[in-house]
Each structure stands twice: as structure tokens, then as C-alpha cells.
Chains A and B, each alone.
Chain A
Amino acid sequence: MEELALHILDLVQNCVEAQASWVYIRVAEDPALNTLSVSIEDNGRGMNEEQQARAIDPFYTTRTTRKVGLGIPLLKAAAEDTGGSFTITSAPGRGTLIEASFVRDHIDRVPVGNMADTLSALLALHNNIELRYEHVVGDRSFCLSTAVLREICGDELSHPRIVSWLRSYISEQENSLEV
């Protein structure tokens, strides 16, 4: 996949499938240390050790429509291709934390991409999940929380007109993180 934002969208779908009621996405870039890390945490059903080991194997999936599960192996490969690392921390009933670290200026490092498009897709699709997103670049940061947005928008949070507005808003905020 050509954007980290697409990997993030894909991995949040796993959280939703695992019955999470909240998901916390964090993208942290440190230009001085030349690192970029992505973490996705949820309070869904979790995985035992065997399931975690199998999740990083493309030939393991609990889905029935296709023989291979691709989401996790793809992000793992994207991180490791830069000399970075990938970890899963999870326990049944306790949720899951996925962390991918990248060497930020590596030639093969996938760009962050369009987080406004990823978040607006998630807002349109998952009205009943609390989403928190934080993007840190050096000493700048942008944070979006559906708990806060819900206070303003109530049940209309996933209405197409609200989602479209939020997409432009997120896009503006993301752009202002670029130096």
C-alpha cells in the first residue's frame, strides 16, 4: 500500500471486527531522531500468543472469504523494509496494541499519506466507536477525538455533510503540521 494512512484504515477495520468500542491511533514523527512510529490500540477481543504469531503470517486469517490475511503482514513488511520494527502486544479480552516503527528518511519509507481521507472514511462508517487520533511532528501536533466531536455534533457526527466538513478540517490541520 502506498500510504501509511491506508495501512491505518485497514488495521482499524481489524479493531472494529474485533468488537472494539474505542480505538486510539497515534502517528509520531521525530525529525531530529529520524524516527516515525505508528501505533493502533483497541479494547477489542484481543489475541492469545498463538493467534498473534499466526497474525503476522500471511497464510493465517479467521476470515472465510479468502485464504490469506494481508493487513498485518503488509504493515510489518513496510516497517521492516526501512530497518524499523513491528510488534503486537495483546491478550484475550484485553485488547490489542500494534506498533510499527520506521526509519523516517529511508528511501523505502511509505509516506504518511492522506489521513483526512482515512479519518473521514472511519467517521462515516463507524458511528458507534470512539476514535482518538494524534499526529505529532517534532513539537507540533494535531489531535482529533470523536468524544469531543460528539459533544458538538451528537448523532449527526456520521452524517455525510458533517463528515465532508471534517475531512476538509482535518486536511487543513494535517497540512499545518508540515514545516
Chain B
Amino acid sequence: MKSIEELRRLREEVRQMTKLREGSPEIKIIVGMGTCGIAAGARETLNTFVQEVAEQSIEGVSVTQSGCVGLCDREPIVEVQHGAERTIYARVTPERARRIVTEHIKGGRTIAEWITRN
């Protein structure tokens, strides 16, 4: 069983790491979390991004949400913001989320076939 002592130690570790880097995140991952998104699987998509960022210790990336943006037929919708550059991906399953982390977030290459327009 996981113990609260373990959580305390993890928090200390995280604090030491984040102290080293100041400033706002360079990349934002924004997952659509309206009813339409949730019904299409956005919870798993969001948790996959959170877990990948955690496991690979990727710094400078935040995972946030938007409401329904009117693309209900293409949910889960994920927007990646990197400075002024915005990319909107459609039907982002956990598998697609993992590839977006590897290729776009870490590799800097967008995945053209999943991009959608609003």
C-alpha cells in the first residue's frame, strides 16, 4: 500500500526539481473537457498526458482544459500551444496522446494527419 510518507518524499523531490526552473511553461496541452469531450474519452486522454509528462520528467509543459469548443463530432480535441503556434488535434485517444508527446512535445514535429480546423 502507498503511504503518506512516500507522498511527502515525492513532494520534496518535485520541489527541488521545480526550484531549479522558474518562469511559465513553454508548452501548453489543452484538453477539451466539456460533456462531449468526456463522453468521447477525454478523461483517459488527459490522464495519459499527465502520466507521460510525469514518467518522462518533461519540464516546462502544463496540461490544462478548455470547455466545449463546438467540435463535438471530433472529440477528444487537444490543442497544443507552443508560443504563438497553435495546433488542434482531433480524436485524440491515449495512443495518439503518447505519440503527440513523443513527436510533437519532445520532437518538435506536428502530426499532420490528426490536425483539424475550427
Kindly specify which of A38-46, A82-90, A99-107, A152-160 makes contact with the partner chain. A152-160
CB 8 Å contact bits of A154-179 with B (1 = contact, 0 = none): 10100111111111110010000000
CB 8 Å contact bits of A4-17 with B (1 = contact, 0 = none): 00100110010001
Cβ 8 A contact of B54, one of A117, A125, A160: A160
The answer to whether B2 touches A63, judged by C-beta atoms less than 8 angstroms apart, is no
Chain A interface bracket (under 10, 10 to 19, 20 to 34, 35 or more)? 35 or more
Is B69 positioned at the interface, with any CB of A under 8 Å from its CB?
A: yes
Is A98 positioned at the interface, with any CB of B under 8 Å from its CB?
A: no
Cα(A172)–Cα(B3), bound, Å:
11
Is A124 positioned at the interface, with any CB of B under 8 Å from its CB?
A: yes
Is A95 positioned at the interface, with any CB of B under 8 Å from its CB?
A: no
Closest to A165 in B: B10
Cα(A120)–Cα(B53), bound, Å:
14
The answer to whether A118 touches B10, judged by C-beta atoms less than 8 angstroms apart, is no
Q: Which residues of A contact B (CB under 8 A)?
A: 1, 6, 9-10, 13, 17, 63, 65-66, 69-71, 74, 117-118, 120-121, 124-125, 152-154, 156, 159-169, 172
13 additional contacts (CB under 8 A) given A13-B34, A154-B11, A166-B7: A6-B43, A9-B33, A9-B38, A9-B43, A63-B68, A66-B36, A120-B50, A160-B50, A160-B51, A161-B54, A164-B50, A164-B55, A168-B2
